[in-house]
């Protein structure tokens, strides 16, 4: 993948306000991954595609020696600010998940919370994740499933989005156990999977969810930007996203959704 695609990814994730979305809608996912991976004080931990540090900050607050890496400088700066407010000390480093600037086996635990799934070449980023984990160390992943709400949101947006670059794979594939197993291969043992849901009660009605993601979530913003000026397609996507949220509503008086994700942990051979 060339520099043009990487630049486009940086621009996409810098648009809107992903840090506020992560803190307001899914604030506890990073800590859930840190617990599942058994992160302990004193361990050296890498968070790949860390964004604004949902998992990295939780690991640092657990006493680990943490490096948060991400392709997008704006997200890292938001993470630095949040870490300072919360009294967490860790290192922030601009880095591509497909070409990590770390040595083989540098980390005791390597994590990614709804991050590495957005790197276009899954096998390349998985290889890097395993490479930088020491033998006997832990690999921990938390990703949206294809069948869950966010996976279905990407499926809903797909007809309106540009075709993916050659060699790129859909992000929600990382939410399938068999896909993760194939990516990690025989380089790991003790692979464990658990599907969970996060309860989202941030929005009063489906239209509020739609407008919130249109304003804050980079992938959604990018699709709407592509449709700019085509009022018919914008209206169709507006309706599709609204109906998606309505179809996942388990509440009564206000919108309540359960978003499914997969936690995967494994031991590096």
Q: Which residues contact 57 (CB under 8 A, 6 or more apart)?
A: 30, 68, 79, 82, 83, 86, 88, 90
* Each residue's pLDDT expressed in tens, for the chain with a length of 269 residues: 578 999 999 999 999 999 999 999 999 999 999 999 999 999 999 999 999 999 999 999 999 999 999 999 999 999 999 999 999 999 999 999 999 999 999 999 999 999 999 999 999 999 999 999 999 999 999 999 999 999 999 999 999 999 999 999 999 999 999 999 999 999 999 999 999 999 999 999 999 999 999 999 999 999 999 999 999 999 999 999 999 999 999 998 899 999 999 999 999 99
φ/ψ bin of 230: left (φ > 0), alpha (ψ from -120 to 50), beta (otherwise): beta
Per-residue confidence (pLDDT) for residue 3, from 0 to 100: 87
Q: How far is CA 185 from the centre of its chain?
A: 22
Question: For 3-146+167-199+259-268, CATH number?
Answer: 3.40.50.150
Contact 80, 108 (CB under 8 A): no
Structure tokens at 170: 């859909």
pTM attached to this predicted model: 0.97
Per-residue confidence (pLDDT) for residue 51, from 0 to 100: 98
Per-residue confidence (pLDDT) for residue 1, from 0 to 100: 54
Contact 262, 195 (CB under 8 A): yes
Q: Where are the domains of the chain?
A: 3-146+167-199+259-268
């Amino acid at each position: 993948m060339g520099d043009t695609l990487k630049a486009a990814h940086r621009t996409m994730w810098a648009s809107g306000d992903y840090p506020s979305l992560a803190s307001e809608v899914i604030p506890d996912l990073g800590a859930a991954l840190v617990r599942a991976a058994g992160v302990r004080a004193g361990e050296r931990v890498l968070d790949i595609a860390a964004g604004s540090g949902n998992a990295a900050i939780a690991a640092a607050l657990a006493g680990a020696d943490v490096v948060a890496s991400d392709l997008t400088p704006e997200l890292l700066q938001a993470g630095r600010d949040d870490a300072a407010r919360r009294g967490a000390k860790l290192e922030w480093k601009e880095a591509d998940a497909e070409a990590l600037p770390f040595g083989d086996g540098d980390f005791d635990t390597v994590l990614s919370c709804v991050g590495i799934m957005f790197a276009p070449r899954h096998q390349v980023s998985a290889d890097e994740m395993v490479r930088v984990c020491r033998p006997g160390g832990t690999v921990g992943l938390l990703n949206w499933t294809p069948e869950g709400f966010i996976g279905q949101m990407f499926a809903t947006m797909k007809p309106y989005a540009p075709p993916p670059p050659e060699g790129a794979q859909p992000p929600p594939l990382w939410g399938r156990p068999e896909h993760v197993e194939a990516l990690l291969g025989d380089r790991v043992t003790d692979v464990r999977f658990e599907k969970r849901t996060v309860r989202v009660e941030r929005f009063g009605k489906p239209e509020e969810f739609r407008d919130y993601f249109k304003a804050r979530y980079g992938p959604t913003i990018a699709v709407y930007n592509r449709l700019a000026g085509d009022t018919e397609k914008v209206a169709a996507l507006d309706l599709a996203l609204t109906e998606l949220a309505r179809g996942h509503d388990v509440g009564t008086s206000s919108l309540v959704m359960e978003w499914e994700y997969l936690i995967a942990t494994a031991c590096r051979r």
